[in-house]
Amino acid sequence: MSDQYVLLIDTKDQKGLVYHISEVIFKHNLNIEQNSEFVDEEVGKFFMRTVISGILDKEKFLNDIKAVLPISATIKFTKQQKKNIVILATKESHVLGDLLIKNYEEELNANVQAVISNHDLLKGLVEKFDVPYHTCDATNLDRQAHEEELAKIIDMYNPDIIVLAKYMRILTPWIVSRYEGKLLNIHHSFLPAFIGANPYKQAHERGVKIIGATAHYVTNDLDEGPIIAQDVVRVDHSFSWQDMRKAGRNVEKVVLSTALDLLLEDRVFVYNNKTVIL
């Protein structure tokens, strides 16, 4: 059976791009299994995601692709296979547990290499799934020292994606830049309206009608990185704040899982602090 690859192209739009790219694929005797395109006419940007199959000379194929694209084009070419992920967590188990179950049921196209937490409260849960657990305690350490210890553990695994599964520590520019483009975060969509230890209680007191969650890349602008996935559920006056929290946790699980699947399938393009999903 021949291998499958994902070709991602992000470039200035111009006539004939799809034709010339397809011609190169045909020339290399490859099959197009899936193809999606999008043009942002406001900025003149072209995006293309193509799944191809066959036996190829990767270097020669990419050289031929580059030859038919503008010099400024961004090209990503990966073999379709499981990606490696490391999960960061703190005390909350709902998002982490959902990912561990999906990994156990082989519903994730990923290898969950390890879970790292600044507490040991989730160790028992994680070990039930035979996943390595590391406690990176922040006690008596300043932020830089703690992140250096955290980075040492992450680097042991060299993951493709780092999932912040309710990891309740703000990351510094040092560690964000170290793992740029690899950090996926989930938060409730009340931010910045309801900030603090119990946003659902605040939301209940305010009488909100929608509970939401947002999954996004981590950048140095707190909770303002490019958005990958979002969703909401409706609530009403009959919901207690505990009911709202339960609804919020459910939507957080769905949104994070959706965003992670998109990254694992190489469907996400980033530009101008937003995303195109193909």
Q: Are residues 104 and 221 in the same domain?
A: yes
Which pLDDT belongs to residue 189?
A: 77
End-to-end CA distance of the chain: 26
Q: Is 142 a catalytic residue?
A: no
Q: Are 124 and 190 in a shared domain?
A: yes
Q: Annotated catalytic residue: which of 64, 160, 223, 261? A: 223
102 and 233 in a single domain? The answer is: yes
Is 120 found in the same domain as 15? no
Asked whether residue 108 falls in the same domain as residue 67, the answer is: no
Query: Which two three-digit tokens encode residue 172?
Result: 């510094």
| Residue whose structure tokens are 């188990």 | 93
Read off the CATH number of the domain in which 74 is found.
Answer: 3.30.70.260
Domain count, the chain: 2
Phi, psi at 264, each rounded to 5°: -65, -25
d(CA 162, CA 179) in angstroms, rounded, equals 8
Q: Show the domain range for 62.
A: 3-79
Rg of the chain, C-alpha, whole Å: 21
Of 54, 79, 104, which residue sits at a domain end?
Answer: 79
For the whole model, what pTM was predicted? 0.93
Does residue 199 have a cis peptide bond before it, meaning omega lies within 30 degrees of 0?
no
Same domain, 58 and 93: no
Q: Are strands 83-89 and 161-164 parallel, antiparallel or unpaired?
A: parallel
Q: Are 100 and 167 within one domain?
A: yes
pLDDT at 1: 61
- 39 and 89 part of one domain: no
Q: Tell whether 148 and 241 lie within a shared domain.
A: yes
Do residues 97 and 211 share a domain?
yes
pLDDT, tens digit only, all 278 positions of the chain: 678 999 999 999 999 999 999 999 999 999 999 999 999 999 999 999 999 999 999 999 999 999 999 999 999 999 999 999 999 999 999 999 999 999 999 999 999 999 999 999 999 999 999 999 999 999 999 999 999 999 999 999 999 999 999 999 999 999 999 999 999 999 887 656 776 667 888 888 888 899 889 999 999 887 789 999 999 999 999 999 999 989 999 999 999 999 999 999 999 999 988 999 99
Q: Please tell me the predicted confidence (pLDDT) of residue 106.
A: 94
